[in-house]
């Protein structure tokens, strides 16, 4: 078990709908505006607590520059009305930025340094492209063969994983069809309602006739990427996009997206002081490194470590959010763990679909999926849930929660 002086409890957790980057809900919405909405919604779910009681706001973001630069954590906390006394720090562990923010906030509480912390993530892939606005790789990367994978595009690492773990194109496409099927079914059943905060998108168009600007507001309530018409036949027609003779396509890869999520994490003393009801307890976290060229396999190292720290087995997990960066890496992770006797029940892995259908707003995903796990466990009565993902440049991360 992890050494700590007290437990960390999640008392509120929410997220925005996920929009398609470049052409979706939030293509013209600033990421700080998305994060402000999440911060305010999280606090609204814990009405007994003054935002000034927050020690720090830790926000994950994969490419913290441009519209999501200037320490967006601090900027958004001020704009959200937290007040000038609340700190803010933006952190980056690529796809695991959001779950790392949760871990860092929980650890501040678990070691007794704070009583109230905000954790979250935000990413606008519409405004900040993959790699950032001005990517620059160190020449040192290319001096040793074992480091060259740092420079690989994510799609190429997925091709490497598919080849090494023998994941066929057919298996990848079937996995993707199931992701969409589950997502569409979950939406129809209202399974996302508890974790979702609707967002009012303001659309502005110029009226060239009189020089005015017309505004239109629409409220978005569901993730934008899930497609009920996804089929094996349709996916089979798509060409590989990262290697000429590869198997990774746009259809069996995660969608580039915009989104934000957040959680309020407190100590037991804060629960009593502010008369709060805990939703879940933060149990454990682990991060491990793997060769950069097969970064997608990272969870095979992080998951066993997180389970060991939590003192539980894989069979005790009732809900597992395994981020679907690519179908190839998700299947490789599941199959590899099976071979080692760490079997993850497929019915409990992404029961509401995953990033292939729902989207993957990079640094926000960990916080978004933490909200999914917590509310999913509460809806189904499960006890333990896990958020896990691979990480660019060769890492894997996993965080475990217990429903209360």
Which residues does the annotation mark as catalytic?
A: 95, 360, 390
Q: At what angle do helices 31-44 and 72-79 cross, to 10 degrees?
A: 50
| Contact between residue 391 and residue 91 where contact means Cβ atoms under 8 Å apart | no
End-to-end CA distance of the chain: 19
* Alpha-carbon gap, residue 36 to 330, rounded angstroms: 32
163, exposed or middle or buried, with CB in 10 Å at 0-12, 13-18, 19+? middle
CA distance linking residue 10 with residue 15, whole number of Å: 14
For residue 173, what is the enclosing H or E element? helix 169-189
**Joined tokens for residue 220:** 């978005």
With 0-12 / 13-18 / 19 or more C-beta atoms within 10 angstroms meaning exposed / middle / buried, residue 213 is exposed
Note the residue count of the chain. 404
Q: What is the DSSP string of 306-339?
A: HHHHHT--GGGEEEEEE--SBHHHHHHHHHHHHH
User: 220 - beta bridge partners?
Assistant: 199
Tell me whether strands 280-289 and 9-15 are parallel, antiparallel or unpaired.
antiparallel
């Amino acid at each position: 078990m992890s050494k700590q002086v007290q437990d960390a409890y999640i008392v509120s957790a929410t997220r925005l709908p996920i929009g398609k980057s470049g052409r979706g809900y939030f293509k013209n919405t600033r990421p700080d505006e998305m994060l402000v909405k999440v911060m305010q919604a999280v606090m609204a779910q814990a009405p007994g607590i003054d935002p000034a009681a927050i020690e720090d706001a830790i926000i994950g973001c994969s490419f913290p520059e441009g519209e999501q630069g200037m320490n967006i954590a601090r900027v958004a906390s001020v704009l959200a009305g937290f007040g000038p006394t609340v700190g803010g720090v933006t952190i980056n562990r690529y796809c695991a930025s959001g779950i790392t923010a949760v871990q860092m906030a929980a650890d501040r509480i678990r070691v007794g340094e704070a009583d109230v912390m905000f954790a979250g993530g935000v990413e606008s892939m519409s405004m900040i492209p993959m790699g950032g606005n001005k990517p620059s790789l160190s020449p040192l990367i290319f001096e040793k063969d074992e480091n060259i994978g740092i420079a690989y595009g994510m799609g190429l690492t997925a091709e490497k994983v598919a080849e090494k773990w023998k994941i066929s194109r057919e298996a990848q496409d079937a996995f993707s069809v199931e992701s969409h099927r589950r997502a569409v079914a979950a939406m129809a059943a209202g399974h996302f309602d508890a974790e979702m905060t609707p967002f009012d998108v303001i659309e502005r168009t110029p009226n060239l006739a009189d020089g005015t600007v017309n505004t239109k507001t629409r409220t978005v309530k569901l993730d934008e990427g899930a497609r009920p018409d996804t089929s094996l036949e349709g996916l089979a027609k798509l060409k590989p996009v990262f290697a000429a003779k590869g198997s990774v396509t746009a259809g069996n890869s995660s969608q580039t997206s915009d989104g934000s999520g957040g959680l309020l994490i407190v100590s037991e003393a804060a629960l009593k002081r502010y008369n709060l009801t805990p939703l879940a307890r933060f149990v454990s976290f682990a991060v491990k490194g793997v060769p950069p060229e097969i970064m997608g396999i990272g969870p095979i190292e992080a998951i066993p470590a997180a389970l060991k720290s939590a003192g539980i087995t894989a069979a005790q997990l009732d809900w597992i959010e395994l981020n679907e960066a690519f179908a190839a890496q998700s299947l490789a992770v599941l199959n590899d763990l099976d071979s080692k006797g760490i079997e993850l029940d497929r019915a409990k892995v992404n029961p509401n679909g995953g990033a292939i259908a729902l989207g993957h707003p990079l640094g926000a995903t960990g916080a978004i999926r933490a909200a999914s796990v917590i509310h999913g466990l509460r809806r189904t009565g499960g006890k333990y849930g896990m958020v896990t993902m691979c990480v660019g440049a060769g890492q894997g991360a996993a965080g475990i929660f217990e429903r209360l």
